[in-house]
Every structure is written in C-alpha cells, then in structure tokens.
Amino acid sequence: MSEATDTLNGFEAEQASTPRVVVLISGSGSNLQALIDAQSYDELGGEIVAVISNKADAYGLKRARDAGIEAVALPHREYDSREAFDGALIKVIERHEPDLVVLAGFMRILTPRFVQRFYGRMLNIHPSLLPAYQGLHTHARALADGVSEHGVSVHFVSEELDGGPVVVQAAVDVTPEDTEDSLQQKVQSREHLIYPIAVRWFLEGRLTLGAQGPTLDGTPLPPQGLRLSHADAAEELDEDLEDDDA
C-alpha cells in the first residue's frame, strides 16, 4: 500500500468514527450555542450534524446556520397529530444517523414511539433539580415555594415527562432578591456549563444507560445524578463567591 493510500485510509477512518449529534430546539438555542462553542474548542467529543426546530422562527436555527450546521425547520402545526409529527421527525433525525439526540429547549411532549426509538441515546436538559418541578414555569414555582436552592438537571429521556434517569445536576442559591428573570439567568449559566460536559461523556462512551440505570465509567450514578456544587460551578464561571457566601 502506498503512503498516500495509507494516509487516506487513516483520514477516512477518523472521519467515520466522529460521533454524530442531532440537536432539537424550539427557541433561542442558548444551550445549542454552548454545544456549538464546545465543538469549536474540540471539547464536545463529536460533531453536531443537524439542528431541527418545530418552530420555523426559532433563533437557534440562525445560530446553527451561522456555525455552518444544517438547520431544519419542521413545524409541528403542519401535521394532523402528535403521532404524525413525531413520525416525520424520526425520519428527519434518522437521515442524519446520529449517535446521540440532544433536546435543548425542545418544548414538545414526545410520543412513546419517539422515545422508544432513541431510548438510551437521547438527553434532555430541564431547569430544576429533578425530581422537583417537572413541567413548566420551574423558576416561578421555586420562588413561590421559597426554596433556598434551585438548579438544572441533565437526564436521559424516558416516557415520563422530565422523569428519565438523571445524569448530572448543578445547583444555584436562591436569594431574597431573586426574580424569575434573575433565577433563569443563574440557572442558564449552569445549563451552559453542564450540558456540553454530559454530551461529551456520552460521546466518549463513558456515560451509558443500562438496565440498572445510568453509569459513568462503569459506576452507577446516584438517583439524582452527579452534583456539580455551587462552588465548583462558580469557580468554572469565574463568579465572585464571597457575595454568595455572605
């Protein structure tokens, strides 16, 4: 074999082995941006090959195009039923042959067929410390309850809405000054930190979902996943810890 052929084969093998990610969004796509940024620093462990939105005007589609990623609008309103839409979505996703499907603010209730199709290779991010505050308006509900701690969870998707096995969580302190907006901002800063980490774990084969639940490096994860502490996250984000400790 000539040296040129050898090099070409090596190149092709490397191309073939890059894990493929499809991201589903419905809105702004700030989590998508965090994933795109991680990919640009070679820290995602794979390549985002397509971004699909059920809303044609989602800003995240522009983020995808700007990054040179295929952006697909698949408006759910054009389908007669949830089953028909999810069937079409499965086809579009599968065309891209993903190793992982990432839900990043994809605000749709999924049919069992859809969940089963990607079970064990589909992650979601949810703005609460699950199992607390499944569903919508998580920040307002946390404030109304007067909790001192709130946060975000990344979990494998199961048929139970926001109820799948949790992989990792990050907490934020809730202060008396917090509003829904300020809490959302705090939580989103943690979202942007932990989602690329969880995606990378999966794409590197370190994170799997087995019959007994999720494991990281072969070790079963606790029921609420790994917890990134407030201090760990603040350090990563270069936040002033003194204020928070006061």
Which residues are near ligand GAR by CB under 6 A? 25, 27-31, 60, 104-105, 125-127, 162, 188, 191
The residue of the chain with the least Cβ separation from ligand GAR equals: 105
192 a catalytic residue: no
Instruction: Report whether 26 belongs to an annotated binding site.
Output: no
Please identify, using beta-carbon distances, which residue of 46 and 151 lies nearer to ligand GAR: 151
Beta-strand runs (E) in the chain: 20-25, 47-53, 70-73, 100-103, 122-126, 149-156, 166-173, 207-210, 213-216, 219-220, 226-228
Catalytic residue among 126, 139, 150, 192: 126
Please identify, using beta-carbon distances, which residue of 106 and 202 lies nearer to ligand GAR: 106
Q: How far is the CB of 215 from ligand GAR (least distance, A)?
A: 24
> What are the C-alpha distances in Å from 182 to residues 2, 131, 139, 174, 177?
61, 22, 9, 10, 9
In 10 A of CB 53, how many CB atoms? 26
Please identify, using beta-carbon distances, which residue of 95 and 224 lies nearer to ligand GAR: 224
Query: If phi over 0 gives left and psi between -120 and 50 gives alpha, with beta otherwise, what is residue 145?
Result: alpha
Instruction: Report whether 9 belongs to an annotated binding site.
Output: no
Q: How far is the CB of 169 from ligand GAR (least distance, A)?
A: 12
**Residue stretches of the annotated binding site:** 29-31, 82, 107-110, 124
By annotation, the residues acting in catalysis are 126
